[in-house]
Amino acid sequence: METKYLELDDELFEDVNKEEKLKNECLQPSLTYWQDTWRRLKKDKMALAGLVIIIIVTLLAIFGPLISPYEYDEQNFDLSNQAPVLSHPFGTDQFGRDIFVRVMYGARISLSIGLVASIINLTIGVIYGGIAGLKGGAVDNIMMRIVDILYSIPTMIYVILLMVIIGSGLKSIYITLGISYWVGMARIVRSEVLRIKQEEFILAAKVLGTSQRRILLRHILPNAMGPIIVTLTLSIPSAIFTEAFLSFIGLGVSAPKASWGVLVNDSISSLSLFPYQLFFPAAAICITILGFNFLGDGLRDALDPKLRK
């Protein structure tokens, strides 16, 4: 049986040039994952506001005490408890020290605490959680039980024990963060590793003979950077608040260093007479923590692959 084909007249068709082909197409430049993340982050006004706040606070912490005409521990009893004026925008305390420069100096301590917390999270938390999730089995069970034990011990107990051994100050706070702050990150990284290692590209890497170390560092952790960065950003305000609280109750930074918690503690006794001495350091704590929270919420949405368009 012969197959019959419909013959079409070539005159019914005409060639279409390149411009007409592309006229109805929606073309846009391809974006990488991080370019698309930045594009979506820029659309979040609250996240951008948080980023601006963090940049301003950081610049004031670095350069503010350097350009200020006053030292953070400079005393002048002739200017004790002076209300905010042009020469002292935040006023002075009971010793005549400029509160503005002390707040800026306190930002150095608070941001250094946040930096230490982030470094600890990235090193101990990511590596520990990554190994636990990748190994699995008995190794994972033992490692996570250790995390559960550390997580169950209150931070205050660490601080009190360290005060007895090495005394109060920034050193004890750094060690406290080193002991306790990485456990939350380890849990999140472990859960992400358990999820990602079941993907087909991980199985393909294993078939090709790729070492577990390379699989973790080159394949799993880069694909888990979204939750890691969000957790990292949100842990910084928690560390800042922890330092302020410990300094407020006398377990943190000691005089004459100016921490935000120390400034709040010093102003409690004269709150009814000089409320501005409490308002400015408390406002600095709130604004900084809000800035990191706004940025963290924005990053959580921007890094979510389910929301990528």
User: Token pair of 223, please?
Assistant: 């694909």
- 27-31, 39-43, 121-125: least confident range: 27-31
Higher-pLDDT residue of 12 and 157 is 157
The SS3 of residue 273 is: coil
Mean pLDDT of the chain: 82
Residue boundaries of the structural domains of the chain: 43-64+91-304
Annotate 185-232 with DSSP letters as a single string. HHHHHHHHHHHHTTSHHHHHHHHTT--HHHIIIIIIHHHTHHHHHHHH
pLDDT by residue (tens digit) across 53-91?
999 999 999 998 888 888 888 888 888 888 888 888 888
CA 77/CA 81 separation, integer angstroms: 9
CA 231/CA 229 separation, integer angstroms: 6
pLDDT recorded at residue 1? 54
In the predicted structure, residue 207 carries a pLDDT above the cut 80: yes
Higher-pLDDT residue of 240 and 55 is 55
Query: Is 265 in contact with 250 (CB distance < 8 Å)?
Result: yes
- 5-9, 94-98, 105-109, 196-200: least confident range: 5-9
In the predicted structure, residue 242 carries a pLDDT above the cut 90: no
Q: Which of 83, 48, 63 is nearest to 302 (CA)?
A: 48
Is 1.10.3720.10 the CATH number for 43-64+91-304? yes
How many helices (H) and strands (E) the chain has is answered by: 15, 0
pLDDT recorded at residue 296? 85
The structure's pTM equals 0.77
CA 52/CA 60 separation, integer angstroms: 12
Percent of the chain with pLDDT over 70: 87
pLDDT by residue (tens digit) across 151-199?
888 877 877 777 777 777 777 778 777 777 788 888 988 988 888 888 8
In the predicted structure, residue 22 carries a pLDDT above the cut 80: no
Bridge partner list, 137: none
User: Token pair of 251, please?
Assistant: 């377990």
In the predicted structure, residue 307 carries a pLDDT above the cut 60: no
In the predicted structure, residue 20 carries a pLDDT above the cut 70: no
